[in-house]
Structure 1
Amino acid sequence: MFGSTPAEKKAAANAIESELEPNTKKAADRAKENTSAAARTLDGWETASGLKKVTETWDQQVNLLMGRLSTEKTSLRGASGLFVQNDVHTGDQLRALGPKSKLDGL
């Protein structure tokens, strides 16, 4: 089934949910905290305003990444169901050909 089973798709979606999303969020928050702390320490210097801008850009990039991870997780979970539905539908169509079909009973 396109190189992976429904169980593998489910496992990948679960890994995104239980590992990638929380670990990415944790790492992003830590980096933001450190950068914000550095900006506060350098308050009054041009470097502080630069770090604040970096923090804003960082937040945007993290939000995009978290959204992408969520989309991939949802897609993996949805794909498994769609493939199974397609297989069932195809089987129903083949069975509708009648008992004289050579494919009957497969």
Structure 2
Amino acid sequence: MTWDEWERIKADASTRQATSTQLNQLAPAAGGGVNAPDLASCPAAKKAAAKAIGQDLEPGVARDGRHAAEQMNTTVKEFGPKDGYGWDTSGALKRAHKTWESQVKMLLGRLASEKALLSETGAGFRSNDLGIAAQLTRQSRIHGV
């Protein structure tokens, strides 16, 4: 590598660093995204996300999970013993499917949890704010005068 190439690489790196996103700075005043509030501060976005989880994701995962279970049960049965002998694949598929079913159940539980948290966040923030205000009011010397 020549000296000129090295200087060009350093210049490119410093240009990229200057224009890249840094993690040690505050988010833009309008939130993340293009002049729109981000999910953390936009009740409408949280409500829409909770609705999408409840109406799209949860039913889709449950439906697809049932479909996959039906297909897997059919496949396990086909590979299973008919005349006393069966394929080793049948038992392996059955064990793999059991693991997969538990993962689908965990995913559905996680989706339900996330949906509930998105729905409750606004109430939680209000409750925290009121509690803090009550604490400050009790501790304030000026307010008690």
Q: TM-score, normalised by structure 2?
A: 0.57
CA distance 1:12–1:52, change in 2 (3 Å): same
CA RMSD of aligned residues (A): 2.4
SS in 2 for 1:4: coil
What CA deviation, in whole Å up to 9, does each residue of 1:41-92 have, x standing for no partner?
A: 1112111111111111111101110110011011111111112334455677
| 1:24 aligned residue | 61
Residue of 112, 124, 143 corresponding to 1:82: 124
Residue of 113, 117, 124 corresponding to 1:71: 113
| 1:11 aligned residue | 48
Conserved 8 A contact 2:79-2:89: yes
CA distance 1:14–1:58, change in 2 (3 Å): same
Mark the runs of 5 or more structure 2 residues left unpaired by the alignment: 1-37, 81-85
Looking at structure 2, the residues matched to 90 and 11 of structure 1 have their Cα atoms a distance apart, in angstroms, of 29
| 1:101 aligned residue | none
- Give 4+ residue runs of structure 1 displaced > 4 Å after superposition: 87-94
Looking at structure 2, the residues matched to 86 and 54 of structure 1 have their Cα atoms a distance apart, in angstroms, of 45
Q: TM-score, normalised by structure 1?
A: 0.76
Mark the runs of 5 or more structure 1 residues left unpaired by the alignment: 99-106
Looking at structure 1, the residues matched to 41 and 67 of structure 2 have their Cα atoms a distance apart, in angstroms, of 35
Give the counterpart letter for 2:59 in structure 1.
P
Identical counterparts, % of pairs: 35
| Greater length-normalized contact order (CA 8 Å, ≥ 6 residues apart) | 1
| 2:99 aligned residue | 57
Conserved 8 A contact 2:39-2:45: no
| 2:75 aligned residue | 38
Task: Compare CA radii of gyration and give the structure with the larger one.
Answer: 2
Looking at structure 1, the residues matched to 107 and 78 of structure 2 have their Cα atoms a distance apart, in angstroms, of 29
Looking at structure 1, the residues matched to 103 and 74 of structure 2 have their Cα atoms a distance apart, in angstroms, of 19
